[in-house]
Structure 1
Amino acid sequence: MAEQQKESTVNVLLVDDDTSLLQVAELILKDMDKTLVIETATNVETAHKRLAEKNIDIIVSDYEMPNSNGLDFIKELREKNNKIPFILFTGKGREEIAIKALNLGVDRYLNKIGDPEAVYKELTISIHQLNRQAKAQNMLQENEERLRLLIDFSPDPVVILDVEGVVLDINKQTEVMLGFTKSELKGKTMVTTGIVPAETMQNMSRDFYGTVAGQTVNSIEYELKRKDGTVAIVEISAFPIKRWGKIEILSIARDITHQKNAEAELEQKFETLERVAKSIDSGLAIIGKDYRVVWANSILQTRIDDRNKHCYQLFNNLETHLSPLWCKEGF
Structure 2
Amino acid sequence: MDSAGDDTTQYRVLVVDDDEEVAATISLYLEDDTNLETVIETSAADALDRLDDEDIHCVISDYRMPRATGIDLLEDIREDYPALPFLLFTARGSELVASKAISAGATDYLPKGSPEKYDLLANRTRNAIEQAEARAELERAKARFDALVKNTEYTVITIDEASRIEYVNDAVEELLGYAPEDLDGEHLDTIIPDHPAADHETAVENSLEAGEKHVDWNGTEFSAVHADGTELTVEIAFDEYETGSAGHLFTGVMRRADD
Task: Give the alignment's TM-score, normalised by structure 1.
Answer: 0.67
For structure 1, list consecutive stretches of 5 or more residues without a partner in the other structure.
260-331
- Does residue 206 (structure 1) correspond to residue 199 (structure 2)? The answer is yes
For structure 2, list consecutive stretches of 5 or more residues without a partner in the other structure.
208-212
> In structure 1, how many angstroms separate the alpha carbons of the residues matched to 2:95 and 2:186?
45
- Does residue 178 (structure 1) correspond to residue 176 (structure 2)? The answer is yes
Q: One-letter code of the match for 1:129?
A: N
The correspondence of residues 207-226 of structure 1 with structure 2, limited to 5 A, is 207=200, 210=203, 213=207, 214-215=213-214, 216-226=216-226
Which residue among 168, 175, 188 is the counterpart of 2:186? Answer: 188
- Judged with a 3 Å threshold, the aligned counterparts in structure 2 of structure 1 residues 6 and 171 are, in CA distance, closer, same or farther, namely closer
Structure 1 segments of 4 or more deviating over 4 A? 207-213
- Does residue 63 (structure 1) correspond to residue 59 (structure 2)? The answer is no
Q: One-letter code of the match for 1:132?
A: E
Q: One-letter code of the match for 2:48?
A: H
The correspondence of residues 20-39 of structure 1 with structure 2, limited to 5 A, is 20-30=21-31, 32-39=32-39
Q: One-letter code of the match for 2:22?
A: L
- Judged with a 3 Å threshold, the aligned counterparts in structure 2 of structure 1 residues 152 and 242 are, in CA distance, closer, same or farther, namely farther
> In structure 1, how many angstroms separate the alpha carbons of the residues matched to 2:133 and 2:76?
22
- Aligned to 2:52, the other structure's residue is in SS state helix
- Aligned to 1:7, the other structure's residue is in SS state coil
- Aligned to 2:38, the other structure's residue is in SS state strand
Q: One-letter code of the match for 1:88?
A: L
Q: One-letter code of the match for 1:176?
A: E
The correspondence of residues 91-240 of structure 1 with structure 2, limited to 5 A, is 91-112=91-112, 114-115=113-114, 117-191=115-189, 193=190, 195-197=191-193, 200-201=194-195, 203-207=196-200, 210=203, 213=207, 214-215=213-214, 216-240=216-240
- Judged with a 3 Å threshold, the aligned counterparts in structure 2 of structure 1 residues 221 and 44 are, in CA distance, closer, same or farther, namely same
Q: Report the CA distance between 1:240 and its aligned residue.
A: 1.4
Q: Give the number of the structure whose residues are more often helix, by fraction.
A: 1
Q: Report the CA distance between 1:153 and its aligned residue.
A: 2.3
Q: Report the CA distance between 1:236 and its aligned residue.
A: 0.7
Percent identity over the alignment is 27
> In structure 1, how many angstroms separate the alpha carbons of the residues matched to 2:136 and 2:40?
25
The 8 Å contact of residues 153 and 171 in structure 2, kept in 1 or not, is answered as: yes
> In structure 2, how many angstroms separate the alpha carbons of the residues matched to 1:80 and 1:8?
24
* Matching residue of 1:252: 253
> In structure 2, how many angstroms separate the alpha carbons of the residues matched to 1:211 and 1:150?
27
> In structure 1, how many angstroms separate the alpha carbons of the residues matched to 2:243 and 2:35?
31
> In structure 2, how many angstroms separate the alpha carbons of the residues matched to 1:232 and 1:204?
19
- Judged with a 3 Å threshold, the aligned counterparts in structure 2 of structure 1 residues 127 and 220 are, in CA distance, closer, same or farther, namely same
Q: One-letter code of the match for 2:8?
A: E
- Does residue 17 (structure 1) correspond to residue 15 (structure 2)? The answer is no
* Matching residue of 2:210: none
The 8 Å contact of residues 5 and 35 in structure 1, kept in 2 or not, is answered as: no
Cα distance per residue 1:140-187 (max 9 Å; x no partner): 222222222332223311111122222221112111101110121112
- Aligned to 1:65, the other structure's residue is in SS state coil
- Aligned to 2:188, the other structure's residue is in SS state coil
The 8 Å contact of residues 16 and 62 in structure 1, kept in 2 or not, is answered as: yes
Q: Report the CA distance between 1:55 and its aligned residue.
A: 1.4
* Matching residue of 1:72: 72
Q: One-letter code of the match for 1:14?
A: V
Q: Report the CA distance between 1:254 and its aligned residue.
A: 2.1
Q: Report the CA distance between 1:219 and its aligned residue.
A: 0.9
Residue correspondences, number: 247
The 8 Å contact of residues 208 and 238 in structure 1, kept in 2 or not, is answered as: no
* Matching residue of 1:304: none
CA-atom RMSD in angstroms: 2.6
Cα distance per residue 1:199-233 (max 9 Å; x no partner): x14x2452576567434421111111111222221
> In structure 2, how many angstroms separate the alpha carbons of the residues matched to 1:185 and 1:6?
40
The 8 Å contact of residues 223 and 232 in structure 1, kept in 2 or not, is answered as: yes
Q: Report the CA distance between 1:15 and its aligned residue.
A: 0.8
